[in-house]
């Protein structure tokens, strides 16, 4: 487990999502990255039953990552992150009284995994059901576990194939200081990314309406 | 007297003891009273047998004569009462009695002569009977009483021995129970019906081998009580399944060439020399342990052959009968075979005696046993209790994989990826590579005297990796020539050479590669040694190169060269040393010393004479000195002017 940075790749002008992904992957392949199968990250959203909490409904995200095939991550926004066995979903059905599914709750990112020396790059398309929403790019620097130590290196690497679209420092890194980066931090980043993409999706649709 | 009525008078001896004598002072000395037997003997002496013989009923043949005799006596009795009628009456009476006596004597003699009814024995004299008779009688009576006592004792002994035998029988019964208890402490037993069955298998230790491995406990008490019990007798015996009898082991060997296909599967069995003992007398513990070992060997072999069939390798593994053949390196074959010899197979033993166990790799056999036990442990620990109800079944670390968010690599590392066969092949490869490396180094060291090679093997190594430190030195100059120190890490497929300066070279398993590398290192060592020597001798190094691009091309590596100049700069020595071409040493003289140099028209001034002149080759093999560096030292010393 290294340090990861999850970011969104905007869709190139006049290109479809698929084409943009292809451009990106071609760049990676030219760089010398090797294709290493596929990956997926999915996220189900639950909201707390207001009656039980007596407060404003909070959102809880239950996520899976193919990189951690036996684990399930459950996290609140800005809240704790719970790592558990993969059959946590089954438990959520039992907890229906407290956590309820939100509409169109499942968002996922699927794509190809590339390895370039010590770096892992995962380029995925973000979808809700059948609709494609955007592109996620995850870059991981495997040998390091302290985020701040390798952030510059990671950013430079991302710039090499993302160009100007390389992201700024993720907010998770700021909180971590010099502590060890954990898988939960990566999932928080994905959650934020998914939220961001969802919002972007809602804004244009709202505008059309 | 006849007129008076007879009065009965009983006469007894008043005094029991006869008075022998009366002393002057009036004291009486008594005779000791006779004992009963003495008395009897004395009374018997007194009997006059000649008188009573006519009345004896035993004289049957002479009965009528005797009757006649009686009549005569009666007559005589009548005559006796008559008063003496005539003067010769007494003479007649005496004659008559004499005649009677003679007749009786005659009769007695005739009877005695027959030796049928009467025998003559010498009558014991009175003085003798006084002394010997009591002793004989004593002896007889003692004998008799002793015999009686002996009989009583014998009876008692018989009873005792019977009871002892009984108690021994009991003891044996008790022994059986205590033996059973001891057996129970070491082996799993259960009672089925009236039988006691035990478990030989490693199932409780995690084995998945389907062999039931049951043995039966037998009570061995039907031994003959009268016979002597053998020392190694044990009241408990075990009956092991027939297929687990005998001894077994796994033979692992590495051979150079593949044998004929006809030889496959007929691995020569050689017997391990067990302490010879009768089959019945073998203690159950040894018996069970041997049987269990057979079972384990069978399991190892079954596991290996299963893997050999399943695993796909470039050169497929061959499983024939009791042998698995694999090719770890080209031209090399690893054979693992199950040798199971039971006692009755004499033919196999005779075949086995031809070949000794020389190519048996005990290390690998041992590690096979280790691996199967690890394998057992894995299966055992996978279902470790207690187990959380909500967690999936599996290894404990596997259980933690979810909550602790293990990534793919960690999870794959948890899963047992390698089988027994793969592991043992890897170990065999390593062992082979290590042996070959050692042999290569040793053969080089023995072949090449200058420079010397020293190999320091580490005592402790991993099953897949070991290391050796190789030093190349020159004799007598160990302190100054330390330039070549190599660390050889021998792995499974490759040898990694770590040079002293940090360079890492990876060599393949080929023997030639290592040999070439060492040869080139040795050649370089000579040049390095010259460099070190120059420093010590105060010479200046003008040039140095490990890999010279000039001159004849070496087939192994590159030649190396060095040029050093004498302290005052007059002479210089140039050395070129190649792994194949050997060393070539040239000396450059100052121009003034070269007589045969043609006078140049250009260099007329005297000062040009101090320029260096041409090189001349040194006939190196004619130099004195035991090795290269010593020769070089001599050369340098010769060229250094005395100051």
Q: Give the CATH number, domain containing residue A130.
A: 3.30.310.180
Report the number of distinct structural domains present in chain A. 2
Residue B378 distance to chain A (closest CA, Å): 21
CB contact under 8 A, A85 and B390: yes
- Please check whether residues B193 and B246 belong to one and the same domain: yes
Count of residues for chain A? 209
- Please check whether residues A136 and A81 belong to one and the same domain: no
- Please check whether residues B173 and B217 belong to one and the same domain: no
Tell me if A185 is assigned to some domain. Answer: yes
- Please check whether residues A10 and A94 belong to one and the same domain: no
Q: Does B415 touch chain A (CB under 8 A)?
A: no
What pLDDT is recorded for position B125? 64
Share of chain B above pLDDT 70, in %: 78
More confident residue, B200 or B601: B200
pLDDT reading at B154 higher than 90: yes
Residue B386 distance to chain A (closest CA, Å): 18
Of B392, B405, B407, the CB nearest to A83: B405
- Please check whether residues A33 and A71 belong to one and the same domain: no
Going along chain A, which residue ranges are E strands?
3-9, 34-48, 59-65, 71-76, 81-85, 99-116, 119-128, 131-141
Return the top range by mean pLDDT from B48-62, B195-209, B391-405: B195-209
Tell me if A209 is assigned to some domain. Answer: no
Average pLDDT, stretch A59-86?
87
| Chain A: residue whose CA lies nearest to B400 | A85
Residue-averaged pLDDT of chain B: 79
**Token reading at B434:** 């290590």
Q: Does B403 touch chain A (CB under 8 A)?
A: yes
- Please check whether residues A29 and A124 belong to one and the same domain: yes
Q: Taking Cα atoms as reference points, which of B215, B191, B213 lies closest to residue B204?
A: B213
Rounded to whole angstroms, the Cα distance separating B426 from B418 reads 10
Residue B501 distance to chain A (closest CA, Å): 27
Whole-angstrom CA distances from B640 to A136, B142, B164, B200, B212 are: 77, 123, 105, 84, 87
- Please check whether residues B337 and B446 belong to one and the same domain: no
- Please check whether residues B211 and B337 belong to one and the same domain: yes
Contact in structure between A95 and A44 (CB atoms under 8 Å): no
Residue A84 distance to chain B (closest CA, Å): 4
- Please check whether residues B470 and B441 belong to one and the same domain: yes
Tell me if A206 is assigned to some domain. Answer: no
Average pLDDT, stretch B45-68?
54
- Please check whether residues B156 and B296 belong to one and the same domain: no
CB contact under 8 A, B390 and A69: no
- Please check whether residues A21 and A120 belong to one and the same domain: yes
| Chain A: residue whose CA lies nearest to B398 | A70
Residue A12 main-chain phi, psi, to 5 deg: -65, 155
pLDDT reading at A209 higher than 50: no
Rounded to whole angstroms, the Cα distance separating B424 from B438 reads 21
Torsion angle of C-alpha atoms B458, B463, B464, B467, degrees rounded to 10: 0
ipTM beyond cut 0.85: no
- Please check whether residues A95 and A138 belong to one and the same domain: no
- Please check whether residues B538 and B513 belong to one and the same domain: yes
Tell me the per-residue pLDDT of A146-190, one tens digit each, with 9 for 90 and over.
888 888 899 899 998 888 888 888 888 777 667 888 888 889 899
Tell me if A204 is assigned to some domain. Answer: no
Tell me if B627 is assigned to some domain. Answer: yes
Q: Where are the alpha helices (DSSP H) in B361-487?
A: 362-382, 396-401, 408-414, 420-447
Rounded to whole angstroms, the Cα distance separating B415 from B267 reads 35
What pLDDT is recorded for position B14? 56
Tell me if B591 is assigned to some domain. Answer: yes
Q: Within 10 Å of residue A119's Cβ, how many Cβ atoms?
A: 21
Q: Does B404 touch chain A (CB under 8 A)?
A: yes
- Please check whether residues B575 and B502 belong to one and the same domain: yes
Question: At which of A69, A85, A101 does a domain end?
Answer: A101
pLDDT reading at A208 higher than 50: no
Residues of B in contact with A94 (CB under 8 A): none
Average pLDDT, stretch A91-99?
83
Average pLDDT, stretch B347-361?
52
- Please check whether residues A47 and A145 belong to one and the same domain: no
Residues of A in contact with B401 (CB under 8 A): 70-71
Tell me if A70 is assigned to some domain. Answer: yes
- Please check whether residues A126 and A188 belong to one and the same domain: yes
- Please check whether residues B151 and B250 belong to one and the same domain: no
CB contact under 8 A, B407 and A68: yes
Range of the domain at A60: 42-101
Residues of A in contact with B388 (CB under 8 A): none
Q: Does B34 touch chain A (CB under 8 A)?
A: no
Chain A interface, best mutation among B405, B413, B414, B415, by max A CB count within 10 A: B405
Rounded to whole angstroms, the Cα distance separating A124 from A121 reads 10
Report the number of distinct structural domains present in chain B. 3
Torsion angle of C-alpha atoms B318, B323, B324, B326, degrees rounded to 10: -80
pLDDT reading at A205 higher than 70: no
Of A1, A69, A85, the CB nearest to B403: A85
Range of the domain at B305: 189-257+283-342+362-373
Residue A53 distance to chain B (closest CA, Å): 27
- Please check whether residues A117 and A169 belong to one and the same domain: yes
- Please check whether residues B484 and B613 belong to one and the same domain: yes
Whole-angstrom CA distances from B536 to B479, B528, B572, B597 are: 11, 13, 16, 33
Tell me the per-residue pLDDT of B72-86, one tens digit each, with 9 for 90 and over.
444 544 545 555 567
- Please check whether residues A75 and A135 belong to one and the same domain: no
Whole-angstrom CA distances from B62 to A37, B55, B113 are: 145, 11, 14
Residues of A with CB under 8 A from a CB of B: 1, 67-73, 83-87, 182-184
Tell me if B136 is assigned to some domain. Answer: no
Q: Taking Cα atoms as reference points, which of A179, A172, A173, A183 lies closest to residue A73?
A: A183
- Please check whether residues A47 and A142 belong to one and the same domain: no
CB contact under 8 A, A85 and B391: yes
Q: Does B356 touch chain A (CB under 8 A)?
A: no
Tell me the per-residue pLDDT of B503-540, one tens digit each, with 9 for 90 and over.
899 998 888 999 999 999 999 898 999 999 999 889 99
- Please check whether residues A187 and A87 belong to one and the same domain: no
- Please check whether residues B287 and B322 belong to one and the same domain: yes
Tell me the per-residue pLDDT of B165-214, one tens digit each, with 9 for 90 and over.
888 877 777 778 888 888 888 888 888 888 888 888 888 888 888 888 88
The alpha carbon dihedral of A122, A124, A126, A129 has a sign of: negative
Tell me if A207 is assigned to some domain. Answer: no
Torsion angle of C-alpha atoms A84, A86, A91, A95, degrees rounded to 10: 70
pLDDT reading at B593 higher than 50: yes
- Please check whether residues B455 and B500 belong to one and the same domain: yes
């Amino acid at each position: 487990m290294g340090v990861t940075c999850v970011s969104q790749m905007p869709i190139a002008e006049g290109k479809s999502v698929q084409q943009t992904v292809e451009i990106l992957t071609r760049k990676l392949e030219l760089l010398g990255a090797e294709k290493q199968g596929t990956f997926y990250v999915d996220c189900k959203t639950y909201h707390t039953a207001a009656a039980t909490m007596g407060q404003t409904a909070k959102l809880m995200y239950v996520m899976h990552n193919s990189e951690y095939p036996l684990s399930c991550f459950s996290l609140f926004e800005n809240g704790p992150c719970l790592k558990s066995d993969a059959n946590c979903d089954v438990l959520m059905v039992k907890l229906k009284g407290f956590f309820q599914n939100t509409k169109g709750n499942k968002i996922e990112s699927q794509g190809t995994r590339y390895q370039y020396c010590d770096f892992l790059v995962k380029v995925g398309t973000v979808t809700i059901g059948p609709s494609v929403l955007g592109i996620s790019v995850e870059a991981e620097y495997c040998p390091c576990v302290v985020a701040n130590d390798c952030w510059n290196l990671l950013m430079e690497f991302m710039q090499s194939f993302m160009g100007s679209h390389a992201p700024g420092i993720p907010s998770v890194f700021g909180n971590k200081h010099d502590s060890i980066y954990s898988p939960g931090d990566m999932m928080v980043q994905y959650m934020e990314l998914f939220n961001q993409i969802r919002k972007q999706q809602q804004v244009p649709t709202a505008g059309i309406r | 007297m006849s007129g008076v009525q007879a009065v009965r008078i009983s006469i007894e001896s008043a005094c029991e003891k006869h008075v022998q004598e009366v002393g002057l002072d009036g004291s009486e000395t008594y005779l000791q009273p006779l004992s009963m037997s003495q008395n009897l003997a004395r009374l018997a002496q007194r009997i006059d047998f000649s008188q009573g013989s006519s009345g004896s009923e035993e004289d049957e043949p002479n009965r009528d004569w005797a009757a006649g005799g009686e009549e005569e006596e009666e007559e005589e009795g009548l005559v006796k009462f008559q008063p003496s009628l005539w003067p010769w009456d007494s003479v007649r009476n005496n004659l008559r009695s004499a005649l009677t006596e003679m007749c009786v004597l005659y009769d007695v003699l005739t009877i005695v002569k027959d030796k049928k009814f009467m025998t003559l024995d010498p009558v014991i004299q009175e003085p003798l009977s006084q002394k010997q008779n009591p002793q004989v009688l004593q002896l007889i009576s003692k004998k008799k009483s002793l015999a009686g006592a002996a009989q009583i004792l014998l009876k008692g002994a018989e009873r005792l021995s019977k009871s002892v035998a009984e108690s021994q029988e009991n003891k044996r019964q008790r022994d059986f129970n205590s033996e059973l208890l001891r057996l129970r402490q070491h082996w799993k037993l259960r009672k089925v019906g009236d039988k006691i069955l035990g478990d030989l298998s490693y199932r409780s230790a995690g084995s998945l081998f389907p062999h039931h491995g049951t043995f039966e406990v037998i009570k061995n008490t039907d031994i003959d009580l009268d016979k002597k019990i053998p020392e190694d007798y044990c009241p408990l015996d075990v009956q092991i399944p027939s297929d687990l009898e005998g001894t077994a082991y796994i033979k692992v060997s590495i051979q150079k060439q593949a044998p004929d296909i006809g030889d496959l599967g007929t691995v020569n069995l050689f017997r391990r020399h067990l302490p010879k003992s009768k089959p019945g007398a073998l203690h159950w513990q040894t018996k069970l342990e041997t049987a269990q070992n057979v079972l384990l060997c069978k399991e190892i072999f079954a596991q290996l052959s299963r893997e050999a069939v399943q695993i796909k390798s470039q050169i497929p593994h061959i499983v024939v009968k009791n042998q698995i053949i694999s090719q770890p390196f080209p031209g090399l074959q690893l054979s693992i075979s199950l040798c199971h010899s039971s006692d009755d197979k004499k033919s196999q033993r005779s075949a086995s005696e031809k070949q000794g166990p020389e190519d048996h790799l005990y290390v690998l056999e041992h590690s096979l046993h280790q691996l199967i036990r690890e394998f057992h442990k894995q299966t055992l620990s996978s279902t470790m209790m207690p187990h959380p109800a909500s967690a999936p079944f599996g290894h404990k670390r596997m259980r933690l994989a979810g909550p602790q968010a293990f990534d793919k690599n960690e999870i794959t590392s948890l899963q047992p990826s390698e089988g027994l066969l793969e592991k043992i092949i890897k170990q065999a490869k390593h062992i082979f590579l290590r042996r070959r490396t050692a042999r290569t180094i040793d053969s080089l060291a023995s072949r090449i005297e200058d420079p010397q090679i020293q190999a320091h093997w580490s005592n402790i190594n991993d099953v897949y990796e070991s290391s050796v430190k190789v030093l190349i030195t020159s004799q007598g100059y160990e302190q100054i020539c330390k330039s070549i120190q190599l660390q050889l890490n021998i792995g499974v497929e490759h040898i990694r050479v770590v040079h002293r300066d940090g360079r890492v070279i990876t060599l393949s398993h080929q023997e030639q590669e290592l040999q070439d590398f060492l040869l080139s290192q040795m050649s370089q060592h000579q040049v390095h040694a010259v460099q070190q020597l120059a420093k010590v001798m105060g010479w200046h190094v003008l040039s140095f190169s490990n890999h010279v691009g000039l001159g004849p091309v070496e087939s192994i590596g590159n030649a190396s060269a060095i040029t050093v100049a004498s302290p005052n700069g007059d002479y210089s020595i140039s050395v070129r040393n190649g792994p194949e071409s050997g060393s070539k040493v040239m000396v450059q003289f100052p121009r003034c010393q070269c007589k045969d140099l043609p006078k140049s028209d250009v260099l007329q001034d005297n000062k040009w004479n101090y320029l260096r002149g041409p090189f001349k080759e040194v006939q190196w093999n004619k130099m004195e000195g035991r090795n290269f560096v010593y020769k070089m030292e001599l050369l340098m010393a010769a060229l250094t002017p005395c100051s």
